[in-house]
Structure 1
């Protein structure tokens, strides 16, 4: 059976607000994320349907908290919670939060292409 742990996963993102290590497991990407700062990444999803993340995510909060904002409600998850983030959400992230998250690789790649493009645009405006 395939497996991965945080120390084996490659460091893919090391930014002031997030450290992310990611690996493929079958058709899914597992992410080991540590959020270093409070961060609202909402503007990064501009251009996706509804300007919201359309990729589903399943995860566990190891420390801290995560909020998924939907058009009509918010869902908050704290340390020890397992969660499902349905398509159409916007995450709100908090310093000190650690999660392990599983996402369909194809959907995550499509979302991250938009997020990466938007991050570049925002950085060039600074």
Structure 2
């Protein structure tokens, strides 16, 4: 059975206010261990995706802090101890001192990351 941990993650991404450790499993899912050290509404970085929102579903667990997902129907905030699922059509708002883990289908995740990365690079 495939497994990973934050320490064993294959890829680490660091940016101002964010650190993520990711592993693509051979099951078609990517596991991401994410830590946020600053508040940020990331909506602007999803422009160019359908409805300008993330189309990748995520299953997650908040170890510490909180995360909000905005959808066409409103928004929902998950806090310490919450396990959650967010479907396609969302944008995240992240908060300082948050640690979480997310499980996402790799193919959809890669499509989203490509657009978000392009938008972040354009924003400087």
**Partner residue, 2:21:** 21
**Partner residue, 1:48:** 49
RMSD of Structure 2 on Structure 1 (CA): 0.8
Judge conservation of contact 1:64–1:78 (CA < 8 Å) in 2. Answer: yes
TM-score (norm 1): 0.95
**Partner residue, 1:115:** 116
**Partner residue, 1:12:** 12
TM-score (norm 2): 0.96
Judge conservation of contact 1:11–1:19 (CA < 8 Å) in 2. Answer: no
SS of match in other structure, 1:8: coil
Q: What displacement does 1:72 show?
A: 1.9
Q: Deviations over 1:47-92 (max 9, x none)?
A: 1111000000000000000000011211110011000011000100
Show structure 1 runs of 5+ residues with no match: none
Q: What displacement does 1:2 show?
A: 1.1
Q: What displacement does 1:16 show?
A: 1.4
Q: Deviations over 1:24-54 (max 9, x none)?
A: 1220000000011001111000011110000
Show structure 2 runs of 5+ residues with no match: none
**Partner residue, 2:75:** 74
Shift of the 24–11 alpha-carbon distance from structure 1 to 2, 3 Å rule, reads closer
